[in-house]
Amino acid sequence: MKFSAEQIAGILEGTVEGNAAVEVHGLAKIEEGKSGELSFLSNPKYEEYIYVTNSSICIVNEDFKPSKELPKTLTLIRVENAYACFAKLLEFYDQMKRPQPEIQSPSFISEDAVIGEGCFVGAFAYISKGAKIGNNVVIYSGVNVGENVTIGDNTTLHPNAVIYRDCVIGQGCTIHSGAVIGADGFGFAPDEKGVFQRIPQIGNVILEDNVDIGANTTVDRATMGSTIVRKGAKLDNLVQIGHNVELGSNTALAAQAGIAGSTKVGSNVLIGGQVGLAGHIKIGDRVMIAAQSGVGGNVEDDKVIMGSPAFDNKEYKKSYIGFRKLPDIMDRLKELEKSIKNQAKGE
């Protein structure tokens, strides 16, 4: 499908500068753009590419002033915020790629499952008894929806995602391939012989609205009650959320982060890759945790921490400077000890 510069400017409430009739059929980075593609420029460090790009249309900020001559084949669309507008186009493009409503065969849908209007169910999907699927839900091939699961409107489950029994998925959620929502929490207790006995995990997982779950990420069901991921939270690939965790709204976790059981994480928290949070602790709102940090205790609101064990990032950087100088300090200390011994001997 093709769109003209005039049509795109209308969607973005922008102004065309150049050929309003030129059409594009795809999106591309400005340094890789080809004829018939649309790009954007918001970061000044990429400005050099706009003077050589082969893209047909480029979205720029209203205050962009070229320092060189632009390609004659390039049409500009000036908008208030080029980055935000390009993101809007990406969302529009993504929506166009959504499959049309259809129940493909072979797939299994229990007789007492409820499927809303405008849904797509791919081949080899399995929807168990008691499941309630909202409107305009996309369930790709190989997805398994367990008993009594509830899925809200406009949610997408990518191939081979698994939703265990009794879990609740909100509206506008995206769950990527290989993700597992509602597997048993890591609950075991040794008996008198030291043999681990499994503790039944009878709770569930609740994902509120607009939650994104990355590929091969796992969110464990609660031992009792619910593991809760609040609205707007974003989990990268390969993230582990333990049983009875509560993850605050608009909190984001990068890949390979892990949160142990019963930890409470506040809202608008940013957690870097490979961060580990111990169990039964509380992380305040708007906390930032640097990659590979290990957090073993409570963290107050608005703190920025790093290291393992993690502490204030400014103090950590000061400490690290000292750590890097430690070999030199040790050598100087040995020389000082040697000098003191020699002085004591009268040498």
Give domain status of residue 303, yes or no: yes
pTM of this structure: 0.84
What average pLDDT does range 14-28 have in this prediction?
A: 95
Do 86 and 198 belong together in one domain?
A: no
What average pLDDT does range 321-345 have in this prediction?
A: 84
Do 151 and 272 belong together in one domain?
A: yes
What average pLDDT does range 129-146 have in this prediction?
A: 98
Q: Cα(127)–Cα(33) distance, rounded to whole angstroms?
A: 42
Active-site residue among 25, 158, 243, 280? Answer: 243
Instruction: Give the tens place of pLDDT for each residue, 9-18.
Output: 999 999 999 9
Write the DSSP assignment of 39-92 as a string of letters: EEE-SGGGHHHHTT---SEEEEETT---SSPPPTT-EEEEES-HHHHHHHHHHH
Give domain status of residue 320, yes or no: no
Give domain status of residue 347, yes or no: no
- Total domains in the chain come to 2
Look at residue 80 in the predicted model and tell me its pLDDT. Answer: 95
Q: For residue 11, which of 86, 100, 94 has the smallest C-alpha distance? A: 86
Do 132 and 84 belong together in one domain?
A: no
Look at residue 256 in the predicted model and tell me its pLDDT. Answer: 98
Do 106 and 74 belong together in one domain?
A: no
Look at the block and give the residue holding tokens 């040697």.
338
Q: Is pLDDT of 308 > 90?
A: no
Give domain status of residue 180, yes or no: yes
317 against 192, higher pLDDT? 192
The residue from 96, 115, 138 where one domain ends is: 96
Look at residue 195 in the predicted model and tell me its pLDDT. Answer: 96
Other CB atoms within 10 Å distance of the CB of residue 290: 17
Look at residue 346 in the predicted model and tell me its pLDDT. Answer: 67
Give domain status of residue 305, yes or no: yes
Do 170 and 257 belong together in one domain?
A: yes
The residue from 96, 111, 145 where one domain ends is: 96
Task: Dig out the tokens for 58 from the structure.
Answer: 């480029």
Look at residue 270 in the predicted model and tell me its pLDDT. Answer: 98
Do 74 and 187 belong together in one domain?
A: no
Q: Is pLDDT of 28 > 70?
A: yes
Give domain status of residue 345, yes or no: no
The residue from 77, 96, 115 where one domain ends is: 96
Do 49 and 120 belong together in one domain?
A: no
Domain that holds residue 39: 3-96
Q: Is pLDDT of 278 > 80?
A: yes
110 against 309, higher pLDDT? 110
The CATH number assigned to the domain holding 142 equals: 2.160.10.10
The CATH number assigned to the domain holding 62 equals: 3.40.1390.10
Do 132 and 274 belong together in one domain?
A: yes
Q: Is pLDDT of 58 > 90?
A: yes
Element (H, E) at 188: strand 188-190
Do 32 and 129 belong together in one domain?
A: no
Q: For residue 268, which of 253, 254, 283, 248 has the smallest C-alpha distance? A: 248
Q: For residue 29, which of 68, 55, 67 has the smallest C-alpha distance? A: 55
Residue 347's pLDDT band (cuts 50, 70, 90): low
Instruction: Give the tens place of pLDDT for each residue, 177-233.
Output: 999 999 999 999 999 999 999 999 999 999 999 999 999 999 999 999 999 999 999
Give domain status of residue 324, yes or no: no
Do 67 and 132 belong together in one domain?
A: no
**243 catalytically annotated:** yes
Q: Is pLDDT of 79 > 80?
A: yes
Do 226 and 245 belong together in one domain?
A: yes
Do 28 and 109 belong together in one domain?
A: no
Give domain status of residue 336, yes or no: no
What average pLDDT does range 96-120 have in this prediction?
A: 95
